Chains A and B, each alone.
Chain A
Amino acid sequence: MATLKELSQKKEVLTGGHRLCAGCGHGIATRMVLNAVEDPLVVSVATGCLEVATTIYPYTAWRCSFIHNAFENAAATISGVEVAYRALKRKGKIEKDMKFVAFGGDGGTYDIGFQSLSGAMERGHNIVYVCLDNGAYMNTGIQRSSATPFGADTTTSPAGKVIPGKQQFRKDLTAVMADHNIPYVAQASPHNWKDLHEKARKAFEVDGPAFLNILSPCPRGWRYNTPDISQVLKLAVESRYWPLFEVENGKWKLNHRPKKYVPVEEWLKLQGRFRHLFKEENRHLIDKLQKEVDRRWDILLERCGEKKEE
């Protein structure tokens, strides 16, 4: 495993000067993932914040080959590039080894791009798909997605007088991807750079498809104090809202077990999108979310062969 110092000396594939918001998780997570790759890369990015902020013609922040096709087809697109590579390599027209990775937001991955992703994974392409999960359609102005946390205030699940924010729990996409029985699936968070780096390395190393789901805070959508991004991520993991785990060739492994029980409330209270839940009449919603977090945590422990808490 490379040291942080070594990693910091690597030439960045995604350069500075892009127009992501200050404190956006997408740039951090993307750079960390790409830092784990040695071979030349082709990157496919779904329509969304990462794409619009990094490739404003005639500028590009990408030092590697890059393609943006549409919102819902980053996976199909990179699968096409990967088969082109296979065909041309076989014919001796390409010599170098190359790697193929797609990035999509949670909207482009959990929702509209889900079919394209599932198809590409099932077909077994040698590609990595990275979901940058900021829990809403941020590029179009913070609309709810199936990754949005229960109770969150978004522009299409507003905290209103009658309906207090999003009514559904988030889809557990990482588990759904694990059920595709692909060689490598992992859930990660940029505050734990070692864990994320290792997962990215493994994802690129396996022969076949890999899926990474990375939590990526959005200062505007989540409404936290921008410099506190690392703390926000850490509490998502410590409160077990966003557990760190991986599924390697079907074997589930918990990568981090919080030392003490941190109520999900601790994570919620850092973020303006949950502020309304702290009103007296809405407190029961926090309890409801807590119950679901606990339930999913127990399922995860069982899958990972870990002992349940007393």
Chain B
Amino acid sequence: MIATLLRRGLLAGLLAGLLAGGFAFVLGEPTIDQSIELEQMASDGHGHSHGEEGGEEEPFSRTGQKVGLFFATGLFGVTSGGIFGLAFAYFRDRLQAASEWGRSLSLAGAGFLAIFLIPFLKYPANPPTVGDPETIGVRTTAYFALMALSLAVVIGGWAAARALRRRGMGTPARQALVVAGCAIVVATAFALLPASPDAGEFPAGLLWEFRMSSLGTQAVFWIGLGGAFGLLGERAARKRADA
């Protein structure tokens, strides 16, 4: 059973990753191109030095990196999808939703919240040129620490809600208590972690567009993952019922 769910997760993740790559290609790439143009205009303005003086030779052309976009979202999709499938094996019979479709979508919703949305609220995605390369180590550590924490908060909140329901606590009180508890932990983490990098002179409109396309890319991925995994699960359930 677990092997089936793993395979289903890998496949759904790959499909969703490529779908998200398509979204990112159409709506995100233009903003990255514009950011890189701005960067080049800025460096041309300073020293009138094309390329040469810039130092490091880029191993990939912009076209190469656009192909790489699909490689990145595909691999992100396969790895997240595989873990999603394994997690589904554990959560399947513990979730409230009544169908494979509903369970898959609710687990994907939790994944979107924990893996992307909560970290994004503190550290929104940045286009090339925003952020000091010197601090990349610290920023990477802070980002993944927040991702781990928000995952723990979402799972912890879910477990607490379940325990309180078993004790017979009414729905409004239970939900208010759990949401407030999670919000306090997340807010404390937001306050303690280092600030998000300053965008400096970067145009605010372009920054917003980039961030919305990043949010959209992740939303497409998680909806695609939950949907594809759910459909594959429904199909398998129908086959079992027919047999």
Indicate, yes or no, whether A interacts with B. no
Query: Which residues of A come within 8 Å of B, CB atoms?
Result: none
Query: Which residues of B come within 8 Å of A, CB atoms?
Result: none
